[in-house]
């Protein structure tokens, strides 16, 4: 499979992770308002907490996301020109990448993580038998 298609696949995966992290918190809050049991299942909540915790730690360490690094490497391997973009790359990059000082991302991720922790405390997860 050509590197460019692999890079697009990594970009789609990256967008999915972003949707899971942001949408997961929205789902927990809305789901508890509307009494959806699945939003408090242990596996979902633990995966969500682990995902945002990973993002926070890597931002505090000043590291790029491994998916960003992998995608960049794949694009270089594809030999694409700096301004040559696929349809998928163009639109997904518009949605998930922003230009700002690195500290802003770390602060934003940390604040979002605190919201996730608050939701964890306010709406504690439950194991399967606890429903």
In terms of Cβ atoms closer than 10 Å to its own Cβ (0-12, 13-18, 19+), residue 2 is exposed
Q: Domain locations in the chain?
A: 3-126
Average pLDDT over residues 51-59: 96
pTM: 0.84
Query: What are the pLDDT digits (tens) for 27-51?
Result: 999 999 999 999 999 999 999 999 9
Average pLDDT over residues 115-121: 96
């Amino acid at each position: 499979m050509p590197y460019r298609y692999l890079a697009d696949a990594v970009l789609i995966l990256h967008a999915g992770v972003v949707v899971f992290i942001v949408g997961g918190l929205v789902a927990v809050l809305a789901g508890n308002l509307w009494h959806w049991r699945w939003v408090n299942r242990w596996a979902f909540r633990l995966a969500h907490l682990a995902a945002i915790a990973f993002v926070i730690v890597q931002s505090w360490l000043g590291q790029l996301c491994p998916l960003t690094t992998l995608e960049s490497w794949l694009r270089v391997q594809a030999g694409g020109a700096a301004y040559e973009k696929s349809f998928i790359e163009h639109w997904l990059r518009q949605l998930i990448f922003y230009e700002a000082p690195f500290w802003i991302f770390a602060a934003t991720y940390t604040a979002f993580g605190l919201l996730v922790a608050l939701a964890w405390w306010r709406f504690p997860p439950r194991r399967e038998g606890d429903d």
